Amino acid sequence: MAKKRSASNTAQGASLVWTEDMDQILINAFIHEQSIGNRPNGTFSTQAYDNIVKELQEAFPEKLVDKDKIKNRIKYLKKGFGACYDIFKNATSGFAWSPHTKMWDAEPGAWATFIQAYPQAKDWMGKPVPHYESLKQLFAKDRANGDGAETPAEMRQQLAQRMGIPEGNIIDDIDRMATHNEATRETDNENISSSPEANKKHKTYKEEVQEKLLKGIESVSDAITKSTDALVKAHTAKLSMPAKEIYQHVNELGLDPMDKKLAYRFLTENANVLEMVLGYPIEERKEFLMDILPRY
């Protein structure tokens, strides 16, 4: 049976056409490398890429897979995911991505209201979004800062672009900009007032930039503190039953080995979800769990 082909980005070259099977194995490989610590500081290590190349080559020996093609493909998938995620992260509880249809589902009325607020959502009505939940495990945190940047270097570059600084060290460029504007403003100040009191109260451009940067840092620090507190509370929530008993419930569902591991880990980390799953009828529990199980 022939494998279904997915859209292939031109950056990869004509020598390799990616299939949905290849995409799934590629994404799973990245998730695995992330889970074992091969993504320090948000960037996949050289070892991670070497492992992923090896896995893809073993799975598809007839394909010309190398590190560059893997990097290009995951960037392509990340870009498509980001466009979709940035819209539907604002969706109401009436929306859900279906692992069966691979599309966003909602009642017609919910769609109409949502599209009115976010017109671009119309492009995703009836449009499959393969591997959405798996890609979410990889890239949702990157989208949280609004830029999709993975590393401090990328974030600095994006900040430089927003400030109109094409390249170079952003701190040095801010200093150069500050020096130029400070000289200009000092000239203007002489025309406004030569009063020592007026000059004492006046802030230089560089001081204003530094003040804004400090306020930004304080704001980010406060947000991180609040998020950390919330995570600590979530992870210290007591389980309603011992871990061994959770495993027994998972084992009774007849999951394959990989899904069993994912389900056990997910349920032991989320007491509320565990309670919800166990409240579901036993004959439908497996299907329900598979629908909500995130792909780490």
pLDDT tens, position by position, 237-260: 445 688 888 888 888 888 888 888
Task: Specify the pLDDT at position 147.
Answer: 44
Handedness of CA 270, 275, 278, 284 (dihedral sign): negative
Give the chain's end-to-end CA distance (angstroms, integer): 29
Q: What does the pLDDT average to over 177-190?
A: 52
Angle at 148 between CA 143 and CA 154, to 5 degrees: 145
- In the block, tokens 């996949």 appear at 44
Residues contacting residue 196 through CB under 8 Å, at least 6 positions apart = none
pLDDT at 199 over 60: no
Q: pLDDT exceeding 90 applies to what percent of the chain?
A: 17
Residues contacting residue 259 through CB under 8 Å, at least 6 positions apart = 290, 293
Residues contacting residue 103 through CB under 8 Å, at least 6 positions apart = 97, 124, 126, 127, 128, 129
Total number of residues shown for the chain: 296
Helix axes 132-143, 20-35, angle to 10 degrees: 50
Q: Alpha-carbon distance 218 to 57, whole Å?
A: 47
Q: What does the pLDDT average to over 141-152?
A: 54
The pTM for the full model equals 0.47
**144-149-154-159 Cα dihedral, nearest 10 degrees:** -50
Contact of 86 with 94, CB cutoff 8 Å: no
**pLDDT tier for residue 24 given thresholds of 50, 70 and 90:** very high
Task: Specify the pLDDT at position 203.
Answer: 61
Kindly tell me the burial class for residue 206, based on how many C-beta atoms sit within 10 Å of its own C-beta (0-12, 13-18, 19 or more). middle
pLDDT at 2 over 80: no
From start to end of the chain, where are the E strands? 96-97, 104-105
Kindly tell me the burial class for residue 23, based on how many C-beta atoms sit within 10 Å of its own C-beta (0-12, 13-18, 19 or more). buried
Pick 285 or 203 by higher pLDDT: 285
pLDDT tens, position by position, 45-56: 999 999 999 999
**pLDDT tier for residue 33 given thresholds of 50, 70 and 90:** very high
Kindly tell me the burial class for residue 294, based on how many C-beta atoms sit within 10 Å of its own C-beta (0-12, 13-18, 19 or more). middle
Q: How many CA atoms lie within 13 A of 161 on its CB side?
A: 7
